[in-house]
Each structure stands twice: as structure tokens, then as C-alpha cells.
Chain A
């Protein structure tokens, strides 16, 4: 199935684009998506995941169809065909 990954802020620079299509298997989760993404853009995924624990680092926003994955099942959240994942760096302010 196909997942659309949208990148914001500094991540665009790291990946050289602001939108990537990634193909993963049925019932796969966010961590599988990130692993696959890491093969093409290792710099990007190293920033997001802690290399020792494989868990999501603090301070990043990853939204699945507009909902934060931290409020779902984190990186173990299941994905569906044509889901949209948005990744943005730790920006704050107004």
C-alpha cells in the first residue's frame, strides 16, 4: 500500500523534497514506514528516532491524517493505503 509522507521545516532540506510516496505492506505500522524511509533518507530518520532504543525522540510532531501518533499508538500505529503522515521539527512559538 502507498503512504504519503509530507515533510515540514528543516526536514525538507534533509530530504531534498517536501513530499515522498512510500510503499509498504498491508497492516504495517509507522516504525516500518520510518525504517523504509531511512533507507532512502538516513539523515532524516536518524533525527527522528533514537538509535539506541528505536523509539521516537522527544519534540517531533508526527501526524497521521492530522492526528498526532503520540495520541494513537506511537510508532506502532497501523497504517492504511493512502494515509498521510506529516513530520515537522520541534518548532514552537507564535
Chain B
């Protein structure tokens, strides 16, 4: 049986408690654990940056095992960016290391008076002073901690200047360049004066049915190797193939989503980046190795850095109309070093660039920067200013919603967000199901919670028919239609709740899926020995419980159906050019279908639905607060 490590920074104490069987049986792991614990332990009156907020790091039953792509782990908290449910995921090696130290979850409570870092060395847990680390970037912090403990194999999670300065989209960085990117949980760490968490684990993970698990894992690795779609990821990483594909089908957010076509993006497509390739990187247990290091000549000399993911490339590239790959690489690297979400940073900068274009802000308002579209130097400068909350950067550090509220002058019209989180670099006008995905995501605009790709391009009709039925074709694969999209979004949201609880990478279960819920059920049963997990229906029941619980967390915070929406630009402004010309999102139609499938009448949770998914106590709590 596993363990939970609880650390109270205010009281300078820690204790270990056994993982309750009921938590495992009802919530599986990772996301499921965090959803239950955060609902129980962080109430609606707690400000995200106050000591009462918690950071719940969780691994899953597959973390650190032989299962392919099992290096991931997650953290949940109340988000300082959105004020509601915050969850974020990271690859790398820290998750397996935490598990090898003996812990399935780590809960950080309270606030230290002075900067500290947490040192977990198997059974030994220490809260150590971090005065010397405070003010340093994430890479330096990692190096310094490894040096202090004289062990280069230690895994480190660290915040940078952005987290220290409570930038509302600060992130937490593992091993120099893997990040818990979204929802600003680096600021929660900063508010607790927790500079870093370091771990060394010398144990292992024992699965229940070893023979069966090894058979399934070996078969899984074979399937990953054979999947043609993963070839592009292996050769180029996530960004260049997606940039090419999305450029081809007209689905590339450009100039703050003014359009979806940016011809210059060919400068960072597969053909172009081949010249920059330097080496591969991979997360724990991953045969895909989608991470790349690029060497790029730029006006400021040669730059060697992590190649950005698609979302980061698009945020700093097309969405700011920047075609200088060196500048994109530099902005991405600075975000890692300062500990800041690349997506939110790119989107808040593109918002300011549009405000500049429309005359809402002047050069003087922006510290003398010429913020014309495509000014890559100004973009890189703004990244630094945000991390240090310097000048105009102090406004942007609040996130796009709060920045627009503070600035006023009609700037909210250009604010691309959902539930106050900056939009991911996707657009429902070029990929219709994405509109619904972004609108209903519990953490604010996010493609990863229920990304459906059968309507991304036209290439997945056969697999769509197998899963949802011939009768749903061709509509379910139409990038420009609303019909049947709720069915696919709801299904993906459920399956991905299991993915995020087990915990494995999206790229092992994106479409066409290498693994889907049947595979997850078999692996979960073999790993835990809990026979019921082998039943796909039980997996769906657990998934629905988790999805309802996240929704309940937000309902308790005061959110409701009115918040399941998108910016007016997506709903009302037709795309002006390219393959998606003329498209807008008819969200109401998809929402109606989605609420019906979720059994949320008009988007409202009910006692009946919560009871059906095993959340009677949650229904009691919401009723007591007058929320249902």
C-alpha cells in the first residue's frame, strides 16, 4: 500500500500517512486523488495565494513502472490565475523519483516565513533554508541543489523569478526544461516561500500481477514503435509536424486569433528545423522521445536551447506574427529559466500587441517598446519584464483577464481567455470540437482535457466509425460542424481523466490511439491487483466521478454554466481568409448536447447526478452552501 507525504511549511513539520484504500478504489490515482483531496481540504473562502491553499503533487499506479510513457505526474491546487480548479502535468523524471522514495502523493500546506526548499531523501524529509537559492533561475537552482547534495542524479522541481514575484501564470520547472506549465501553480509555490523540492528515491515500484503487467507493457512498447503517427514526433518533436499540418488545414492561431493562416510558419516546419537539430531528449520510460534540442543562429549569436512544443511555438510565433525562430526559441528558454508558462506569456503579449495595433496603448504606455506585430525583440523583452514585474510587465503578470480589467479602454474585447486562463493555441473555428473542449475545461481554456482529433483535418473517418458508429459519419469528422461533437468531447474527457489518473502521456493515447480505455483498464488491474479496474465500465464510472468532482469544485467557487463560454471573437468574428474562411463557432448547440450527456440540466449539477457517480457527500456540501 502506498503513502502520502504531508509537509506543513508554517509549522515546519511533516508526517507520512497510508494511502486510504477507498481513495485508490474510487479515484484510481493522480488526478483522481488530487480532485478528492483538494475538494476536501481547500474550501471556497481560501485565496489561492494564502497559506490555506495546498499544492497536491500526485503520481498514478503506472508512474515509474515499465509502462511506456509513464514518466508523468501532476499537481493540483486552487489557481491564482483563474481562482478555481487548477491542475497541471509534467514529464521528466521527478514523478518516478518521488515514487521510488516511497510516496504516491506529496501535499504541501501552510507558508514558511523565510525561503526554504524541501529535501526528500527516501524516508528522510527536511525543510532546509533557501536564502542562497532565492532570486536564481530554475536551472541555477537545480545545479546548486545537486551540488549541495553532491549528487547529479537528484531530481529537482523549482520556481524561478516569476514564481517568486507571484506572476499569476508562473510555472514549476523540473530538470531545466520540463514544466508544470499551466494555471500558475509556480506562484502558489512562491507564495509559500518554497523555492524548490528535491528528491532522491532508491526504492522501486512493485506491481501486483508482475507477469501480466510485464506482458502488457512489452506489448505496449511494441505498439508505440509501430504507430506511424509517432514517427513525426520521434524525428522532429511535437511542434514542426503540427505547425505543418495546422498550416495546411488552416488552424493556426495568428495575431491574437485574428485569423488562422500564417504562411511564414513554414520557417519552423519540419523542412526548416532539420537544419537546427542537435540532440534528442526523452522522459522516463518513453520510447517516443519527442523532445529536441536545437541550435539556431540568431542576430544575437548562436542559441542552443530546448525546441519549443507546438503550443509555445504558436504562442510566440504566429500569434504574435513573429517569424524569427531564434526569437521563439529564446522566449521559450527565458520562460523555462524564469519559470513561466509559455502559452499564457505568448497570449498576454499578443493581446498587448493587438491593443497597440488598435491604439488602446501607446509606445509610452509600453515602456517605449514598439509593439507592432512581428517585433520579435520587443516580444523577448516583454518576457523578461513580466518575470520581473517590471514596467508594463507588471500589468501583464496579472494574466490577460486581470490585465484587461485593469487597463480598461475597451481592451477586454481582445482578451482571449476562458474562465480567465489564456487560450491555448487552438481555435474552434478551424477545429470545431476544440471550441467545446475549451469552453467546458474545468481549469480554463485548455485543449488537453478533452482534445478530439477526429475532426482535425479529415483523416480519421475509419477510426471514428469504429468508436462512435458509421451513422455519425461524416458529421463527426467535419472540422466545421457542431453535430456529434459533444459525444466525442465527453468520451475523450472521460478517457483522459483515466489517462491523467494512471498517469501516462497524451501522446500515447491521442488519435489514432495507441492506447485507449480498454488498455488502461487492463494495465490498472495488473498494476494494482484491484480486479474491478479491469472492467471498462468501472473505468468510465471513475472517470465520470472525477469529472463531476472537478465541476463541483468550481461550482462551490461560484462558477456555473455562464462560465462555459468563449471570447466573442471565436463566437462572432468569421475567419477572414484561408481554408477556414467564414467560420465561427456555434457553441450553444454543442453545449446543449454536452450537458445532456453529462446529465447536467442546462449546465447545472444536480443531487441525482452526483449521487449516481458516488458523490453524495459532495451533493450535501453544495446543497448546504446553496450551490445546487
Contact = CB atoms under 8 A, between A and B. Distances in A.
B600 interface: no
A60 B231 CA distance: 14
Contact of A68 (B266, B311, B458): B458
A51 to B, nearest CB: 15
Contact of A12 (B270, B474, B506): B270
Contact of A94 (B228, B235, B240, B242): B242
Given A66-B578, A91-B242, A92-B229, A58 B451 contact: no
Contacts of A67: 579
B463 A58 contact: yes
B459 A8 contact: no
26 contacts: A8-B244, A8-B245, A9-B269, A12-B271, A18-B266, A18-B269, A18-B271, A58-B460, A58-B463, A59-B228, A60-B459, A61-B457, A61-B458, A70-B461, A71-B458, A71-B478, A88-B249, A89-B231, A90-B228, A90-B512, A91-B242, A92-B453, A92-B512, A93-B242, A93-B506, A93-B507
Contacts of A59: 228-229, 459-460, 512
Interface centre among A12, A88, A89, A94 (most CB of B within 10 A): A94
Contact of A61 (B236, B274, B459): B459
Given A18-B266, A71-B474, A94-B448, A89 B460 contact: no
Interface in A61-91: 61, 63, 66-68, 70-71, 86, 88-91
Nearest to A18: B271
B546 interface: no
A30 to B, nearest CB: 14
A36 interface: no
A93 B459 contact: no
A13 B231 CA distance: 12
A68 B453 CA distance: 15
Interface in B214-232: 228-229, 231-232
A83 B248 CA distance: 15
A9 B311 contact: no
Given A91-B245, A94-B310, A94-B311, A8 B270 contact: yes
A61 B578 contact: no
A88 B457 contact: yes
B248 A86 contact: yes
B249 A10 contact: no
B572 interface: no
Contacts of B231: 10, 89
A71 B455 CA distance: 12
Contacts of A6: 248
Contacts of A63: 248-249, 579
A9 B240 contact: yes
